[in-house]
Amino acid sequence: MTDPRVRRIRPEDVDAVVELVYALAEFERAPDECHLEAPQLHKALFGPAPALFGHVAEVDGQVAGFALWFLSFSTWRGTHGIYLEDLFVRAELRGSGLGKALLAALAAECVEQGYQRLEWAVLNWNPAVGFYRALGALPQDEWTTYRLTDAPLKALAAES
């Protein structure tokens, strides 16, 4: 059953979601790394070729949480999946079921579309790890995430 507090993101939600992205960056101890601006998020979500999708959770008519995601593809399964880039619920509302409702909406999206995976990364120290395990999510401990950004990304691109 769909939780009435969760719905697809709308253009009028962008400012609130940007605010929450900055709160997430603060929570993840990396506030100086967040540079998102509302026009960037709006274009990614609602531009001519959107590659980002989202859901919000509302409480008393206010955006209280969000999930931003994009499609991935599994060559082994031969189908798309959802990669959850960010999931965040305001601190005062954690434990209210909003996080689970957002994840349930993404799981429903997977099932409805025939997607085979719902994946995300979690900082090892994040207390939500227990919550995710309780849902049946399993850590993929045999994989290490690598990332290229800034100067190393530009240096490698220059070799092409």
Local structure of residue 156 (DSSP, 8 states): H
**How far is residue 56's CA from residue 85's CA, in Å, rounded to a whole number?**
14
Name residue, tokens 């900082």: 123
Name residue, tokens 């990396």: 30
**How far is residue 142's CA from residue 83's CA, in Å, rounded to a whole number?**
18
- Which tens digits make up the pLDDT trace of 115-152? 999 999 999 999 999 999 999 999 998 988 888 888 99
pLDDT of 145 reads: 86
Name residue, tokens 């955006």: 63
Nearest-CA neighbor of 103 among 72, 58, 143, 65?
65
The backbone region for 8, taken as left when phi is positive above 0, alpha when psi lies in -120 to 50, beta otherwise, is beta
Query: pTM for this one?
Result: 0.92
- Which tens digits make up the pLDDT trace of 13-34? 999 999 999 999 999 999 999 9
